[in-house]
Structure formats: structure tokens, C-alpha cells
Structure 1
Amino acid sequence: MQPVLVLYYSRNGSTKRLADAIAQGVSSLDVPVIVRTVKSISDAANDAASSAVPEVSLQELEQCSALALGSPTRFGNMAAPVKHFLDSTSSQWLKGALIDKPACVFTSSSSMHGGQESTLLSMMVPLIHHGMVICGLPYSEPALHNTTMGGSPYGVTHVAHHSLSAPEQLSEDEKALCIAQGKRLAMFAKKLADNA
């Protein structure tokens, strides 16, 4: 089975923490997983959180069995490096390389109402154009009812500067939702691989 690709961009580490927890959920089902980042588009940017992992290749995107795509929220939209990467995937679209593969999206913002859900929706649109099958989080996940911080049926989220949480950590509910999202994505990837 090809690995699940957890792909993200992170400036200060919040989105990376989500990516790592989603990857933990994927690997808990004995599904192979790789964690990658997209290239920064600004030489001046301080992207220490993204520079800690390898940059994704288009071949890794093509070969993945499923995709978890993450970005910090920028004015209710995905960050420019994520959009720049997606804009470079025309050849994968022409080949239909991602058709019928499961995908999920995740984001972090610095405030409770910082545009998280619109960011998740903005990331879904190109994936739908690629023919991917979007995998959200059902309300059967208890943490989705309990969270007072990040969390959404559209995908997992993190509130980085909430008064109840240090910015350097996920809340227990946020982490539980990430692991559940990773497990759900891995489950769909595994079922599709078994039926191929």
C-alpha cells in the first residue's frame, strides 16, 4: 500500500503540530505515512517549522494513497505557499492522478473566529477539482461536541493563542480530533487499497 501523505505549511509550528498528530492517527492503523511540507515562496520568511521536514515532490503527491492537507489561516484562506503548490499540480490533474483518493484538510489560526472554516473550504476546492473524495469528521467524535477551542466537521483545527491554551500545544480535544481524522483517512485509504 502506498503511504498516506500528510502535507502542510507552517510558519510558527501550530499547523505542524496538527500534521504530526494526524500522522500519529494514520500510523496507529498500521498504514504507512509520510509527512512533508511545501516550499516557502518568500526568502525572507522565517519558516522554521516547515524547514524541519523535507519538501514534497510531485511524485510523492501522485503516489500517495490519501492526502491530509494543512495550512495556517491567512485572512480566511490558505497560506500562499500552499496555494502556490496546488497551482503547480496541473500535470497531475491532466493525468487524473488523484481521482478517487481520500483527502482531508486542517488549519490553525491565532484567534477563535479567525476564518478557520473558510480556510478549510478553500483548501477543499482544488482537491475536489482533482477528483479527490473529501473526508471530514463526523459528529460521532465526542471531542467535536466537547471542544472549546479548535475542531470542525470540515476538518481539524487549532486555536493558537486562546487564553486556555499555550500556543505551543494542542488542547486534548484538538489532539483527539487530529488522531481521529488520521484514523478515518487511513481507514478509507486501506479500504480502497484492499478493493483495488
Structure 2
Amino acid sequence: MAETNVLILYYSKHGNTAKMAKLIARGVSSCQGVNAVIRSICPAGNENFVSSDIFVTEKDLYDCDALILGSPVRFGNMAAPMKEFIDSTGGVWASRGLESKPAAVFTSGSSLHGGQESTLLSMMIPLLHHGMLVVGLPYSEKSLLNTESGGSPYGASHWSGNGSDRVIDKNEKELCLALGKRVAQIAQKQKAG
């Protein structure tokens, strides 16, 4: 059987969402036979943007068996580059390229009560329009009950602090790993039929 591919697609301005993507990828890769594919979004109007990141293509969406989206919080919503990318996926939607695939979301924000959950929800809506099966974090994840900063049943989150320099804490890290592993396991089971 072919490997299961989980696409972790993110936009990151200060690097915190990128760090979360790497942790989620570790959770995905902890499942034997599952490949974590990390891609980022090139900021609009920055075609000459210098980065070591690999930017997402439409083919990445078709090739994935599951999708995990990540964006920083922007006024309680996903960042504009993520929204712009999602808005460009009409062709994928029309061809049902993501239908019935598992999906999840994650975010990072600088204020503790600055809209992390609404940002997670804002990313879920287009996934539902694509016909994806949205996966969250169950309360059986002990870190979800112990967190004092980031994490929600809606997905992984990180409170980065006012200077966007607060490190990802133990509970936030465990929730990133758990989200990646959970999506990977579901995608693998679904692919096996």
C-alpha cells in the first residue's frame, strides 16, 4: 500500500506558526507509513520572497490524503495570505479534490484572548465547503485539560506573547504532536478502507 500523505500547509509571519507546523509534522511522522508534507504560502505580491520554505501548489492539494491548515491570528480570523490561497482553490472544489479527506487546523496569536478559537473556526469553514472531514482534539488529551495558554478542542494553538517571542510550552507542544498523530491515524485508516 502506498504511503499516506498529510499536507501541513501554513502561513507564518514571525515564525511561530512555522514552528507549530514542524511539531505537527513530527506527530504525523510518528505513525509508520505516513508522510508529513510541509508547505507554506508565499505572501501575496512577494514573488521574490526569499525563504527556505517550499511553497504550496494546487497539485499538493490533490496529492494529499489529509490537510492540516495553520495561520496566525489576525483580528480573530486567518491571515490574508491564507484566505487568499483558500479563495484560489475553486478549481479543486469544483473537481471535489479534497472531498471526504480528513482536515484539521492550528493557529498562533500574540494576545491570550485575541481570537485563537475564532481563527480556528474561520479556517474550518472553507474545509467544510470542500467536503472535508474536520478533526479536532478530544479531551482525552490530558494537555487540553492542563493548558493555561494554547489549545482547544477545535485544534492546536499557541499564545506567542506580546512580542511574538514566547516559546511553545509543554502543553502546546503536546497538543501539536497529538493533532498531527490523530489526523495521520484517521487518514491512514480511511485510505486503507
With structure 1 as the length reference, what TM-score do the two structures score? 0.92
- 1:131 maps to 131
Q: 5 Å matches for 1:26-45?
A: 26-30=28-32, 31-43=34-46
Q: 5 Å matches for 1:76-155?
A: 76-155=76-155
User: What's the offset of the Cα at 1:42?
Assistant: 4.1
Taking every aligned residue pair, what percent have the same amino acid on both sides? 51
User: 1:170, 1:162 → 2: CA distance?
Assistant: 14
Select 2:192's aligned residue among 188, 191, 194: 194
3-state SS in 2 of match to 1:103:
strand
User: What's the offset of the Cα at 1:169?
Assistant: 2.3
Number of positions where the alignment pairs a residue of Structure 1 with one of Structure 2 = 190
| C-alpha contact (below 8 Å) 1:70/1:107 kept by paired residues | yes
User: What's the offset of the Cα at 1:41?
Assistant: 1.1
- 1:60 maps to 60
User: 1:122, 1:33 → 2: CA distance?
Assistant: 24
User: 1:162, 1:153 → 2: CA distance?
Assistant: 24
User: What's the offset of the Cα at 1:53?
Assistant: 1.2
3-state SS in 2 of match to 1:178:
helix
User: 1:64, 1:33 → 2: CA distance?
Assistant: 10
User: What's the offset of the Cα at 1:86?
Assistant: 0.4
User: 2:46, 2:60 → 1: CA distance?
Assistant: 24
The alignment yields a C-alpha RMSD, in angstroms, of 1.9
> Runs of 4 or more off by more than 6 Å in structure 1?
none
User: 1:130, 1:80 → 2: CA distance?
Assistant: 19
User: 2:84, 2:192 → 1: CA distance?
Assistant: 33
User: 1:88, 1:150 → 2: CA distance?
Assistant: 30
With structure 2 as the length reference, what TM-score do the two structures score? 0.94
| C-alpha contact (below 8 Å) 1:78/1:123 kept by paired residues | yes
User: 1:162, 1:125 → 2: CA distance?
Assistant: 28
| C-alpha contact (below 8 Å) 1:39/1:85 kept by paired residues | no
User: 1:188, 1:3 → 2: CA distance?
Assistant: 12
User: 1:137, 1:64 → 2: CA distance?
Assistant: 21
Select 2:12's aligned residue among 10, 13, 32: 10
- 1:167 maps to 165
Go from structure 1 to structure 2 and tell me whether the alpha carbon gap of 1:2 and 1:187 turns closer, same or farther (over 3 Å shift): closer
User: 2:45, 2:142 → 1: CA distance?
Assistant: 40
User: What's the offset of the Cα at 1:63?
Assistant: 1.0
User: What's the offset of the Cα at 1:39?
Assistant: 1.6
User: 2:64, 2:42 → 1: CA distance?
Assistant: 18
| C-alpha contact (below 8 Å) 2:72/2:107 kept by paired residues | yes
Pairing 1:181–2:183 present? no
Q: Structure 2 regions of 5+ residues with no counterpart?
A: none
User: What's the offset of the Cα at 1:2?
Assistant: 4.0
